[in-house]
Amino acid sequence: MKKTILALLILTSCGVNAVTPTATIETLRITPKNIIVMIGDGMGPSYTSAYRYYRDNKSTDNVEKTVFDRLLVGMASTSPHTSDGYITDSAASATALATGVKTYNTAIAVDVNKKPLETLFEKARKAGKATGLVVTASINHATPAAFMVHNESRYNKDEIANAYFDERINGQFKADVMLGGGRKYFERDDRSLVTEFEQAGYQYIDSMNNFSSLDYNNPKVLGLFAASGLGPRLDDKTPDRLLKQTEVAVRLLEQQVAGFVLLIEGSQIDWAGHDNNIADAMAEMDDFAKALSWVEQYVKAHPDTLLVATADHNTGGMTLSSGEVFGWQPKWLKNIKMSPYTIAKHVIAGTLKLENIASKLGFKLSGKEFSSLNSARKLGTIDLFDAIKRLINEKTNTGWTTVGHTAVDVQVFAAGKQSKIFSGAQDNTDIGKKLLNLLK
């Protein structure tokens, strides 16, 4: 019987309406109580390969597997609606994952005619589940926004922030827990959404240091920890920040008897890819991997929970070699203590002498390397930033093909209840359809 119902779920996810009333009753028994969706923004296959080698213990004969190797179940194509070609942006891809429908780039949970599409969060609300989101970008950024609200453009950031408060499902807000950045969009001269959420019963915190002050008997929390995004992981004074936010969100949401749906995004993997910045890319991957590992263990302890993780697209076209040189050298990334941009900014500001830059890079510079950085220093922050990135790329032998997105397929990772239906080759809309059907 279970095999029959599993087939029905998959057929329905592909648009076939084949579930009978009897099957619906059985479906409830095999439906996850909790669903955790994790998105590594921009995390194409080369990122997970790079992370494996970055984490490799050189004292052993084998290259150790990572959480990505353990949880890999399939691949997904990511193209947007055909009107926009083959390369998606985060908004169209997030809409596909949240609604099961392809749309144009920049669209937030609307179709090509700009009509609202039902999202995973909205359907979860109708099913009586708690909902939450955890990101390292602003909470109204493209990916979380597509799970929450509807807008014709991801760039209408104030409108999207307003909709977090104004749009309701059966009188309820779209999310109980919202953790990330974006304070400047929720605390504006024309409107204080922070105050409005507080008046509506939400606890508000502006620092992760305040997690310990939360009242867990009140699972409604708005946490805004930066004006916009949280900044590079290499510069963050809160270690394992995505993991800490994830733990808090789950602890708050799991009190709901009917279960919960949680979105977790490692937002800044994508930003490092756009910058062709391998140092920040591996730091952000490590942040995401630690949160993913924690969720993996949570699923093992809570077998009624489903974990699905993927990327929305690939960014940067990273290659683990450059030119004719064989070999990738992640050892140069191990001791970097500050993001390349922040290093450049401090040098230009005079708070870090170029002669002392090795203390932040974690490796000594040759005379030629120092001379190259010194020439770039005379041109300003961006030029020095570019020179530092170029130096690290050369040391590690990392190549990049673009500063934009690419059309390559991305990996799919899953564990827990009903995770097998996410195996194999699929489209990102298939993932969205399957998730939505698991809420029936």
- Beta-bridge partner residues of 169: 172
Per the CB < 8 A criterion, the answer to whether 187 and 171 are in contact is no
Rounded to 5 degrees, φ, ψ at 351 are -90, -5
Q: How far apart are CA 251 and CA 221, in angstroms?
A: 12
Query: How many C-beta atoms surround the C-beta of residue 403 within 10 A?
Result: 12
Ramachandran quadrant class, 219 (left: phi over 0; alpha: psi -120 to 50; beta: rest) = alpha
Within 83-188, residue ranges assigned H as helices are 90-99, 120-126, 142-148, 157-166, 183-186
Q: Tell me the residue type at 281.
A: A
Pair of tokens at residue 321 = 């070699």
Q: How far apart are CA 260 and CA 256, in angstroms?
A: 7
| Residue reference for tokens 């990330």 | 180
DSSP codes of every residue in 328-356: --GGGGTT--S-HHHHHHHHHHTSS-GGG
Q: Tell me the residue type at 416.
A: G
C-alpha gyration radius of the chain: 22
Question: Packing angle between helix 340-349 and helix 381-396, nearest 10 degrees?
Answer: 140
The 3-state DSSP class for residue 162 equals helix
Per the CB < 8 A criterion, the answer to whether 269 and 306 are in contact is no
Catalytic-residue membership of 419: no
Catalytic position from the list 13, 46, 79, 90: 90
Per the CB < 8 A criterion, the answer to whether 405 and 42 are in contact is yes
Catalytic residues: 90
